[in-house]
Structure 1
């Protein structure tokens, strides 16, 4: 009925405006209303009585709308004396001057307008908002108290979607909420289009006093669910409102057992929104640790969510709490599987070793018929979670094995491409060394005798050292180039052996090149007082840098071999009689050849670092 009246009013107003468009407001009239100058206004009225029809372009606000907005009580009284019918005048939004007065909190003008026409109280605007609604939205307590003397105003909202209590709770107007609860308690249970009650909105915004007032009315309000199945407690968890959660759970622990439409508990929502302090509070202070292993409808525990979001602090805390690290979700993934799907993330580099230290395993490492393969559940009927039969026809073990093979094949392809690039790089470096040493050989340091063409410093020991080292570097580099150009390997293992040999020869060639350079500098440097330290510096810097590089690479190579040996030892344990790999699979792996198994020691042992040396 209310909507019908509003629509009728709107159609009538539009018809009137189209047939009789109001004149624009005169500048003098606007300035007079702005100042609230009653004598000047009356003078303008005597000049032109038609100013009653003048409106502001765009908003269609009348002279009374503007007067009310600026709070000029005397001027409003004069206008109503002259034209009492203006109390019901509407602007573009179908709002009367009373809407404007309530929105701005002009209590005296509200009383004046209502005395002129009491029925104007019940008019609503184009958005179906009453004068009580707009005053509650703006927090005008005195106006609200005045309007509550008209009980029919609240009855207008009984069939509406949203009430004045909703907007007051959302905006945090505590005193207004108290007044509305006292007038109409049933509004506390009313839901809007999204299923939100006033308590939902209050908890979402963190209004503690309003939440307390609503809970005093009925603690069961905390169990009402919106369209997504979220309770006010869930909204408080999403926003991290610990004080509100403490207030609600101090009255009853029942809301803590409820789940959303997607099977999410209060802990799921806290972890998903990275509310670390909230999760810590819930597990330590309120003793609801029985919920830490509850799965949602996708089978995800809070550890799955924390690892998926790369929440390092949260994961570390949950592991200390003793959660089940090997719970499997509906896709067949453990927490370790989840974090390995994006191991390049910086957070994953912290989470991965923490999970492994806590005993986390991949799905394929768990016994096929172990209890750990099933999502954790109990007899609590409040928790709705997915069960094992809801999974895809492909078993988690098969799915993970397939994914692992694809990942390994990709790694092997990347490694093969890297080996090809390394082969090209070695050839280029060898050619450069050969070019430099050849040029230095035909143009040795110290110059030539113009008559004989012999070197002037040929008898010096340093020159002899230079020539020997230069010649060795030249022919070693030429040997590398001829070797790599002549042999084209088409197997990864053969390529690896070839590069390993040529790489070590290149080390040797580079060492002789460095020694030749130091010897050349030693040859051309003059001897005498003050030059000893320069020669010492040349030897120290040149030799020191070269040795430091080779020692560093040697240490990295040693670490790689140690990791490789450690990986092989662990691999041996995994392939023991207690391993989950069947004999059939072992035979299949053997038939594939050494491609996959040989790549294990290189790739898997260097998985954390992302590289390996040879």
Structure 2
């Protein structure tokens, strides 16, 4: 009857192995959880681990001899062991060559295991990370003594040379990652001595990387050269995954890509993750490495990744690399006509990212690329509008040679003007709108013109007066753009009537807005009420004539101040009353909206009046002693009004040029004067009333 190893029986009871045969651990499929169980079942002997980490070959031999003599495992070090361990001086060139006891049985070639049933119980233990004693040796030193330790452990059991830890790393991986070049060379010689060199060098860890990847990651050229000299074909591994060349380029490891190419005689893999190749990585680095890769393999320019993106697609999305575009186009001009899986050409990618210089380069070399269509039939102008790339849209519209694509329609029949109106982007719309080559009345597949689109995208119910969609609609109406010639009394497409569900939303919108504005209106009313009885300059004392009256009464500035303060109070009070009504749910929604709109106007007027009252009050106090400061404050105070109208002025300026281009300079200026004049009157009528009344009051007071 076959003897069962107690360790295997325990492993079987925990679900690690399904068999009690001695080879079950050697040939089973292991994962991280199983290795963790094994580390609990058979943890590495601490004295063995200490010997390996310190690099004491004599201490290792001491432990192995005890095992061969069938002495019990030593967990507490004896003085003899400590003398061997501590007597070793790292880096010493003088050492004895100990006699190594042979304890391994027949080695099964080709067995690939993370852990195994070693004939040496001492070497069967692993750390919590699954590291064997040989892993520990390769990680902690690079002197001759550490090399001797590696040889001793390998002679004891050759299978540890190929054992992997929980991360799938062999001792060779650990040596390369730690930069232990001498120990790594020792491991290479040990693998060569048993005719398993390629097996060790090409071994992949859990990340599907060989030891060469680790050497590249730390930038050790000497280790890279050692590995490549041992196996010139190593740069072809792994077969599926990130190649060493791709990794070296991606990490910008100086001359390592050239080293890989030279040592492999050009026989190396260019593969990267997700179907990419080394040129994808090189094109994002610098022109030098890109030039090298192109010289090595020019066909990489047309090899796409899994998304169909070629290196030119990649570089077209970069703002900082116009030289890379030229390099790729000069290497393979036809790559500019290669589309990705979404039907996007490189020019569409550049338009999507707003990279104007890339588009300029492409169009200079291949003007016909302007007409390339995506799978949705869109030109790069359509893409730029949808991605809100103002610079690209402006570039196309001001370039006469690109006028032929301005009215191109996509698969839905939409031109660039349709998409600009639909996106409600005022800048892009004005760029297209200002080009007279753009036709305003082209209908799409739904029989909608740009004017129809602008109407359809307006929000339901009340909306902001300076909403981009509404401004676009008004601009199209000013230049007499046509709609789809539908009877509006029969066509419900553009109806502004609210359905019941939308009425609930509209009521909530009015209520929330009323609450926010109500806080401001009440605050202004409170401030102005207090200012009425705390006027600048104070009041006449009781022992003087006209006691209790303002000391500055009768002056022009005082009359203007009092009127401004009163007007601010009145307007804010009216706004407060209107906002109260607009927030009451029992009031008809239409009436609530009317009150809300009126309150917004009065609220604006109260802010204008309050800024005037502040400036006048400060001026009256400072004028006698600091006239310049008082004037400066008066000049700065209207900034409140200017800020409130800044958006209106900005959008009026944006619309001015395209409107003048479409309807002529004279009519355009009249239109601009009309809307700006109307806005000025709405915003500044309190100034007219305040200072006009002050002038009238002065004449009345001075009248005989």
Task: Work out the CA distance in 2 between the residues paired with 1:289 and 1:101.
Answer: 55
When residues 178 and 605 of structure 1 are mapped into structure 2, their CA distance, relative to the original with a 3 A threshold, is farther
Partner residue of 2:366 out of 267, 288, 291: 288
Q: In terms of mean alpha carbon deviation, does 46-55 or 257-266 score higher?
A: 46-55
Conserved in 1, the CA contact under 8 Å of 2:279 and 2:300?
yes
Whether the 8 Å contact between 2:276 and 2:305 is mirrored in structure 1 is yes
Cα deviation, residue 254, structure 1: 0.7
Aligned to 2:317: 238
Q: How does 1:405-554 map to 2 (within 5 A)?
A: 405-406=458-459, 410-411=463-464, 445-447=540-542, 455=546, 469=559, 536-537=624-625
Partner of 2:258: 175
Q: Unmatched 5+ residue regions in structure 1?
A: 1-6, 374-390, 522-533, 577-597
Q: Contact 1:98–1:113 at 8 Å: present in 2 too?
A: no
State which of 225, 230, 238 in structure 2 corresponds to 1:142: 225
Note the alpha carbon deviations across 1:155-201, whole angstroms, 9 max, x for none. Answer: 9866x46655555565564135425763746x55xx67733234334
Structure-2 change in CA distance of 1:612 and 1:490 (3 Å)? farther
Question: In 1, are the aligned partners of 2:619 and 2:627 still within 8 Å (CA)?
Answer: yes
One of 437, 443, 456 as aligned partner of 1:403: 456
Give the structure 2 partner of residue 264 of structure 1.
344
Q: 1:20 to 1:73 in 2, by over 3 A?
A: closer
> Which residue does 1:60 correspond to in 2?
130
Aligned to 1:582: none
Equivalent position to 2:50, from 27, 31, 35: 31
Q: CA deviation at 1:255?
A: 0.7
Instruction: Label 1:146 to 1:503 Cα distance change in 2 as closer, same or farther (>3 A).
Output: closer
Match of 1:196 in 2: 276
Deviates more, 1:313-322 or 1:32-41: 313-322
User: Match of 2:62?
Assistant: 43
Q: Deviations over 1:14-52 (max 9, x none)?
A: 899978976433444333323323233323333445574
* Partner in structure 1 of residue 77 of structure 2: none
The Cα of 1:62 is off from its aligned counterpart by: 1.8
Q: Tell me the alpha carbon deviations over residues 484-507 of structure 1, each in whole angstroms, 9 at most, x when there is no partner.
A: 699999699999999999999999
Match for 2:28 among 5, 8, 11? Answer: 11
Partner of 2:87: none
Q: Measure how far apart 1:439 and its partner are.
A: 8.9
The answer to whether the 8 A contact 1:276-1:314 is kept is yes
Q: 1:142 to 1:229 in 2, by over 3 A?
A: same
Which string of whole-angstrom CA distances, capped at 9 and with x for unpartnered residues, describes residues 334-385 of structure 1?
Answer: 3695488465xxxx76x67666655597xxx71226xxx7xxxxxxxxxxxx
- In the alignment, what sits opposite 1:118? 195
Kept after mapping to 2: 8 A contact 1:195/1:226: yes
Aligned to 1:73: 147
TM-score by length of 2: 0.54
Residues 474-524 of structure 1, C-alpha deviations (whole Å, 9 max, x = no match): 9986996899699999699999999999999999999999999999x8xxx
Shift of 1:448: 5.2
Q: Shift of the alpha carbon at 1:401?
A: 3.6
TM-aligned CA distance change 1:306 to 1:163, over 3 Å: same
CA deviation vs aligned residue, 1:278-306 (integer Å, no higher than 9, x gap): 4454445xx23432454433454444544
Match of 1:250 in 2: 330
Partners of 1:437 and 1:474 within 8 A in 2: no
Deviation at 1:400, TM superposition (A): 0.9
CA contact (8 A) 2:528 2:566 kept: no
1:206-264 deviation line (CA, Å, top 9, x unaligned): 5843x445544553331122222211222233345444433332233111121222222
2:275, 2:304 within 8 Å by CA — same for their partners in 1?
A: yes
Q: Does 1:334 align with 2:416?
A: yes
Deviation of the 1:120 alpha carbon: 5.6
How much does 1:57 deviate?
1.7
Question: Which residue is 1:92 aligned to?
Answer: 166
- Corresponding residue number in structure 2 for 1:524: none
Unmatched tracts of structure 2, length 5 or more: 1-23, 69-119, 471-508, 582-589, 665-670, 686-704
SS at match of 1:110: helix
Q: Distance in 2 between matches of 1:482 and 1:122?
A: 86
> Structure 1 residue 109: deviation in Å?
1.2
After superposition, the Cα gap between the structure-2 partners of 1:340 and 1:604, relative to the gap in structure 1 and judged at 3 Å, is farther
**CA contact under 8 A between 1:437 and 1:470: conserved in structure 2?**
no
Q: CA RMSD in A?
A: 6.3
Could you tell me the TM-score, scaled by structure 1's length? Answer: 0.61
Work out which of the residue numbers 167, 186, 189 in structure 2 matches 1:109. 186
Q: Which has a greater percent of helix?
A: 1
Whole-Å separation in 2 of the counterparts to 1:535 and 1:13: 90
Q: Give the superposition deviation at 1:570.
A: 9.4
1:407/1:281 Cα in 2 relative to 1: closer, same or farther (>3 Å)?
farther
